[in-house]
Structure 1
Amino acid sequence: MSKPVLYSYFRSSSAWRVRIALAYKGIDYEYRPVHLVKDGGQQNMEEYMILNPMAQVPTLIIDGITLTQSVPIIEYLDETRPQNKLLPEDPAQRAKVRAIAEMINSGIQPLQNLRVLNKLLILYTYLPLLAIEKVLQHTAGRFCVGDQLTLADVCLIPQIYGANRFKVDMSEFPTICKVNEELEKMDAVKAADAFIQPDCPEELRKK
């Protein structure tokens, strides 16, 4: 079976999530960068849009199929690679994880992408983070829901970077910050870091 191929942009939060999931599950893959600015946005090139008609990253080719949209990709990986589960077996816990993931996926991430930068970004990042903070005060252990890494954590990590990038005052979100500190210790999270990816510009690369 051929090695999975991930089309990614180093700073894309959606692609970042999938990199974390792949690393956490120990799945080796080929990284193919898609620069979202260069050449008018390489995601808009015809050959890429054949793979992903939405002209977005990530796109994952695995098991002979082409997958798009980060959350369904991660759920597919969880269903087909049961090691290091990202969704709890318990239905109630699974629903909590999905709810937090969707709060991030729908409430923050679309407002931190390149299409809407500088359009009330801080305001629309702050308010969803405030809601997530209140939820995590009831669900968090080491991570978003208890002490096991889940889909909710995978979605959260890139948005924390985005909040810091746009100078959101994170001192107002102590539970989120505590969870993020635990996440940053994990090997899978370190392996997926935007600033060690092949397409990260040298001037931004972590040494």
Structure 2
Amino acid sequence: METQINSILKVLTLAERLKFELRHSYTSSGRQESVAEHTWRMSLMAVLIEPLLRQKIDIARLLKMVIIHDLVEAEARDISALDVLRDPTIKAQKIENERKAIENLRSNLKETNGQEIYELFYEFENKETYESKVANALDKLEVQLQHNHADFSTWEEIEYDMSYMMDKHVQFDETLTELKRQIEAGAETKMQAAGVDIEAVKQRVLEQRLPV
């Protein structure tokens, strides 16, 4: 028991970094959000949306997946989708860094639930189960929702396009599709208020089909 608790405390100490590992997104107060804050609101989204989902879901499994999915960034650091779009070559390095990080977590927690955490991480990454598809959708939707809350001056032009690129992540569930529609509408309202040519953005997205 002493060894097991000690290993858990080591992982919690590592995870504390997520409280100050900053993401690209900004809060409505004007500061960058942390990875931990993103994970917290994804968890809340899961709890709130669960009763409306088309299919009965294992909410405990979903929440575990949500909490674990960015845990590797305590070691591997956060690399945003924007960074990958600008330089696709860094994606392979991102995957490798995260592989090493999740292997380390599995090893550190080998006497408790390290293997379960390892499997949940890759279940999220593979997006084959219903729970993992929901978790992935919430991940993408929370990012856009946070952009909607931020001052428009923090948006990069590529983020105009990304506001219309969430369809493929939600099409499997009508509740998530409606959530996406309303979040997308919020982004559209924000862009229109800033004088962005919405139709030009939509056309650009149709032509480019950027991989996110």
Q: TM above 0.5, one fold?
A: no
Structure number with the bigger relative contact order (C-alpha 8 A, sep ≥ 6) is 1
TM-score range, shorter chain: 0.3 to 0.5
Q: TM-score, normalised by structure 2?
A: 0.35
